Homo-oligomer: A and B are copies of this chain.
């Protein structure tokens, strides 16, 4: 068994990122290295490396006396959806024209699992499958620049998506839309995959706004 040890710096990065994106730390909160070091029980070295990465992602900003949490504002949320509207359709189109059998099978499994969790009204797992659906499509495209942009964007709105898929009506429509996108991709219809995907993002945004 491959025992891949995850570095402390990586764990710290994911921990703090999660706390920012889930709202544990709010916009404007100040985080100091020593405080984080004590709280997480590791030395400042991995803390600092994690903070530099979070800074690069614009989730925090250096102030000279601790870092300040930036997080995702309402305006950011709107722009994130707008940008996804512009880019995600292109990726779906690209994937439809590739036809990677193995990844398509994974995508179908993901949609079917999501249907199951919708029927069980399990928002956490619905959101996980939603994550996986979009991430699989990004990866299937093999287009790194798109992946580097879309993965973080998708990641940054977890909190809002969780709220959105907690509404059964939206969860049902969302998974139905995923299924339609999947079928368009399977049939190799790039334009249809593009259109459905763009519509899906717009619907998700509308649902998020109302949430």
Q: Which residues of A contact B (CB under 8 A)?
A: 9, 45, 48-49, 52-53, 55-58, 73, 75-76, 79-80, 82-83, 86-87, 90, 143-146, 148-149, 153
Contacts and interface: CB of A to CB of B under 8 A. Distances in A.
A79 B143 contact: yes
A76 B144 contact: yes
Given A79-B146, A86-B86, 12 more contacts: A49-B49, A56-B56, A56-B57, A58-B148, A73-B144, A80-B145, A83-B145, A83-B146, A83-B149, A86-B87, A86-B90, A145-B153
The 5 closest A-B pairs by CB, nearest first: A79-B145, A56-B56, A86-B86, A49-B52, A53-B56
A75 B79 CA distance: 26
B83 A87 contact: yes
A9 B58 CA distance: 17
A205 to B, nearest CB: 14
B76 A82 contact: no
A57 B148 CA distance: 8
A58 B82 CA distance: 23
A95 to B, nearest CB: 14
A157 to B, nearest CB: 11
Nearest to A53: B56
A148 B152 CA distance: 11
A52 B143 contact: no
